[in-house]
Amino acid sequence: MAENIAPPTIADVDAAAATIKGVALRTPLVNSPVLDARLGARVFLKAETLQRTGSFKFRGAYNKISSIPPERRAAGVVAYSSGNHAQGVAHAAQLANMPAVIVMPSDAPKAKRERTAALGAEVVLYDRDTEDRAAIAREIAAKRGAVLVPPFDDPFVIAGQGTIGREICEDLESQGLKPDIAVVGASGGGLIAGIALAIKARAPGAKIYSAEPEGFDDTARSFKSGQRETNARMSGTICDALMTSTPGVITWEINRKLVGEGVSASDAEVGRAVAFAFRELKLVVEPGGAIGLAALLAGKLDIKGKIVVAVLSGGNVDAEMFHRLIAA
């Protein structure tokens, strides 16, 4: 159980960087003069939309699967995900010549389901509102003797995502800069936990904020109450990648110490961020991947004169939704 697992450290993030080097892409840190002028800050966007499988999830999945001993690989891996972790695990398993089963919600974007299957994974669908995806995945893993690859509450997964923060700091340092503020999307909290570990190790004074959809801000509410809070709903936002019900156990231990504050954005604000990224940056960003940029564009934080980083965490969006958002 996650309660009995020690959280990863910066040493684990550094080890993950060595593991994924040459396999995961080192994505660019994009700066836009238009965005800088609009927000009155120097804003850098980490374009994980350009990562393998279209999101940051490949990093953690590959780091976790690489840790599996050879004698356990024949039985494969099992994961549960709305789409981005699904694709990351499917591709990482494909590279390791391991079978993969992915438990996905039946309302996951069609593009994410199709791409997961195209990467060779067996897709098992479930009802997001009535069924427990983790329980389904655990049962399949137990029957097959497979290794469960959680979407966020795992030290290897968190450390893999932390390589993003490591790259952010290295790329800023090459310009003589350090981040003052980082805004990172949060669902179960694995991405922001890993990034917080890496950034705080290199820029202790940086402030890190979680960004979540309105109505699904369990992380921000947890920071305020001091304990893990739960969302009232399991669906109802265009940010399909950010609908986990509650922060993870391991991720919460990291984030409550290193993050501690959060903001949220409405679906309308997220849609405008998706459109902005398309028009001004020529990047395709899915709604959940644009949540940090949405919070900045909506003025949720005072960033005037600061060095600010937001993570564009994924670009796997259905064509129909993308057209609707950029047209609006």
For 46-71, what is each residue's pLDDT tens digit?
999 999 999 999 999 999 999 999 99
Tell me the average pLDDT of the chain. Answer: 96
Q: Which residue has the tokens 């809070």?
A: 229
Q: Do 36 and 69 sit in the same domain of this protein?
A: no
Q: Which pLDDT belongs to residue 107? A: 87
Residue after which a domain boundary falls, among 102, 122, 148:
148
Q: Which pLDDT belongs to residue 3? A: 65
The count of structural domains within the chain is: 2
Residue after which a domain boundary falls, among 148, 181, 197:
148
Q: Find the DSSP H helices in the chain.
A: 10-20, 33-39, 57-66, 84-95, 110-118, 133-144, 155-173, 190-202, 218-225, 249-258, 267-276, 291-297, 319-327
Q: Do 303 and 172 sit in the same domain of this protein?
A: yes
- Residue 165 contacts residue 309 (beta carbons within 8 Å): no
Q: Do 265 and 191 sit in the same domain of this protein?
A: yes
Q: Do 62 and 73 sit in the same domain of this protein?
A: yes
- Residue 50 contacts residue 56 (beta carbons within 8 Å): no
- Residue 233 contacts residue 216 (beta carbons within 8 Å): yes
Q: Do 169 and 91 sit in the same domain of this protein?
A: no
Q: Do 194 and 322 sit in the same domain of this protein?
A: yes
Largest CA distance in the chain: 56
Rounded CA gap, 22 and 14, in Å? Answer: 14
The answer on pLDDT for 109 being more than 90 is no
Q: Do 40 and 97 sit in the same domain of this protein?
A: no
Helix (H, G, I), strand (E, B) or coil at 211: strand
Q: Do 313 and 198 sit in the same domain of this protein?
A: yes
Residue after which a domain boundary falls, among 116, 148, 180:
148
Structural domain of residue 68, as residue ranges? 58-148
* Surface-to-core class of residue 167, CB atoms within 10 Å of its CB (0-12 exposed, 13-18 middle, 19+ buried): buried
CATH number at residue 66: 3.40.50.1100
Summarised one tens digit per residue, pLDDT across range 246-273 is: 999 999 999 999 999 999 999 999 999 9
